[in-house]
Amino acid sequence: MFGPVRSRRLGISLGVNNIPYKFCSYSCIYCQLGRTINKTIKRRAFYKPEDIINSVIDAVKRLRKIDYISFVPDGEPTLDKNLKSEIDGMKKALDIPIAVFTNASLLCIDEVREALYQADLVSIKVDAVSDSIWKAINRPHLKLEIGRILESIREFVKSYRGKVISETMLVSGINTVRESLREISRYLKDLNVDVAYISVPIRPPAERWVRPPSYFELIQAYETFKDSLGENKVKLLNMPEDYVTHLAGEPEEYILRTTAVHPLRYEHAVRLISEHDKDPNEVIDKLIKRGLIEIVDYLGTKFIIRRFLPKNNNMTKKNKKS
Ligand code: SF4
């Protein structure tokens, strides 16, 4: 168990780690935990459910406010055979919503779906819907099939009463081509997810050659998802959890907060800053100089985006030209 941490999606979240280090059905190229040591689809009991439940109850007693108890372990949480009894036990003892972050690869198993039905929110990973890209980015266990996973996610979502969100991690040149983004966004639209999050590898990845998307690729992904799902259903996760702006003045604050979740049209920012009787060029230049934002030209329109790549990133420059 860890936390509480300020989660980018759930507010103050108490993390539950119900899986030993790197037992997973995937070995994602961007995994911040490194390569998977135990790639498996065999579910088993790793810890005593009462130990996990009691440690969560103890932590909740010590802490003042928790918005969510989140299963975000060092591997795939649904590999835990006791997941359902752990969620049931926490629900009986506490009045706090429970979230499970899963790669969704085991949703074809009845017991996994039964366990997840007890949660209040389920986050599913959808980095690709085509077999070749899925294999390249998630490096799944050999017995898994993407078609079956996508179908079982559909089935699960149909009968699930809680909130479903999705997370798509973008890796430059792997799942950032437009057609791939279109396919993913169409699939997520059909699922009718509450929010589709687009994230970028902001921590050291399992494979050193993995690169985050360029700003161009990120805006392209956002715009493609937005066209398919609608603006309110798409959010970027391109900043660390604990970003704090500490800036006085409303327009600066607004620009930073907005661009942390979606690209902002340059002309909108200019209008907003002017309404506050400030000089738009000065305000925007200051934020650029502080390394907080970047201006990107996307198909003839200027956008402001929160900077997550280090300055002088060659790939960004290369892609901006393309
Ligand atoms: S599914 Fe999650 S834990 Fe497993 S390899 Fe991918 S990122 Fe890492």
pLDDT in tens, 188-200: 999 999 999 999 9
pLDDT at res. 46:
95
242 within some domain: no
CB of residue 166 inside a 6 A radius of ligand 1 = no
pLDDT at res. 282:
92
CATH number at residue 259: 1.10.10.10
Mean pLDDT calculated for residue range 137-142: 98
Say whether both 151 and 217 belong to one domain: yes
CB of residue 184 inside a 6 A radius of ligand 1 = no
185 within some domain: yes
Residue 278 sits at φ, ψ, to 5 deg, of: -120, 160
- pLDDT higher than 60, residue 176: yes
What are the tens digits of pLDDT across the range 252-286? Answer: 888 887 787 678 889 989 988 888 888 999 999 99
**Per-residue b or e along 196-229, where b marks 16 or more CB atoms closer than 10 Å to that residue's CB:** bbbbbbbeebbbeebbbbbbbbbbbbbbbbbebb
What are the tens digits of pLDDT across the range 201-260? Answer: 877 889 989 999 998 999 999 999 999 999 999 999 876 544 334 344 578 888 887 787
Say whether both 46 and 194 belong to one domain: yes
245 within some domain: no
Separation CA 170–CA 168 (nearest Å): 6
- Top-confidence residue, 182 or 315: 182
Mean pLDDT calculated for residue range 73-83: 95
Say whether both 215 and 269 belong to one domain: no
pLDDT at res. 240:
54
Q: Given 189, 212, 237, which residue is the final one in a domain?
A: 237
d(CA 201, ligand 1 centre) in Å: 12
Pairing assessment for the beta strands 264-265 and 301-306 based on DSSP bridges: antiparallel
d(CA 298, ligand 1 centre) in Å: 31
Domains contained in the chain, number: 2
CB of residue 26 inside a 6 A radius of ligand 1 = yes
- Please report how the helices 266-275 and 280-289 are oriented relative to each other, as an axis angle in degrees rounded to 10: 120
Say whether both 165 and 274 belong to one domain: no
Mean pLDDT calculated for residue range 64-76: 89
Question: Looking at ligand 1, which atom is closest to the CA of residue 125?
Answer: 1
- 156, 61, 144, 54: which is closest to 100 by C-alpha? 156
d(CA 195, ligand 1 centre) in Å: 20
CB of residue 75 inside a 6 A radius of ligand 1 = yes
CATH number at residue 61: 3.20.20.70
- Please report how the helices 280-289 and 250-259 are oriented relative to each other, as an axis angle in degrees rounded to 10: 50
What are the tens digits of pLDDT across the range 23-64? Answer: 999 999 999 888 999 999 999 999 999 999 999 998 888 877
For residue 39, the surrounding DSSP H or E stretch is strand 38-39
Say whether both 266 and 208 belong to one domain: no
Separation CA 20–CA 275 (nearest Å): 53
Question: Looking at ligand 1, which atom is closest to the CA of residue 30?
Answer: 7
Say whether both 231 and 254 belong to one domain: no
- Please report how the helices 83-93 and 49-62 are oriented relative to each other, as an axis angle in degrees rounded to 10: 30
Chain mean pLDDT for the chain: 88
- 299, 294, 293, 295: which is closest to 322 by C-alpha? 299
pLDDT at res. 248:
40
58 within some domain: yes
Say whether both 33 and 171 belong to one domain: yes
pLDDT at res. 4:
58
CB of residue 15 inside a 6 A radius of ligand 1 = no
Q: Token match 């890209």: residue?
A: 133
Strand partners, 234: 196
Q: Using an 8 Å Cβ cutoff, are 56 and 23 in contact?
A: no
SS3 for 204-242, per residue? Answer: CCCCCCCCCCCHHHHHHHHHHHHHHHCHHHEEEECCCCC
Say whether both 177 and 294 belong to one domain: no
Say whether both 157 and 193 belong to one domain: yes
- 119, 129, 290, 289: which is closest to 196 by C-alpha? 129
Q: What angle do CA 95, 96, 101 make, to 5 degrees?
A: 145
Question: Looking at ligand 1, which atom is closest to the CA of residue 169?
Answer: 7
- pLDDT higher than 50, residue 180: yes
- Predicted model pTM: 0.84
Q: Which residue segment(s) compose the domain that 153 sits in?
A: 2-237
Q: Which residue has the CA at smallest separation from atom 8 of ligand 1?
A: 31
pLDDT at res. 32:
86
d(CA 74, ligand 1 centre) in Å: 8
Q: Given 188, 213, 237, which residue is the final one in a domain?
A: 237
Mean pLDDT calculated for residue range 111-136: 98
243 within some domain: no
Mean pLDDT calculated for residue range 68-77: 92
**CB atoms closer than 10 angstroms to residue 283:** 20
pLDDT at res. 30:
94
Q: Which residue has the CA at smallest separation from atom 3 of ligand 1?
A: 75
CB of residue 33 inside a 6 A radius of ligand 1 = yes
Lowest mean pLDDT among 3-17, 174-188, 204-218: 3-17
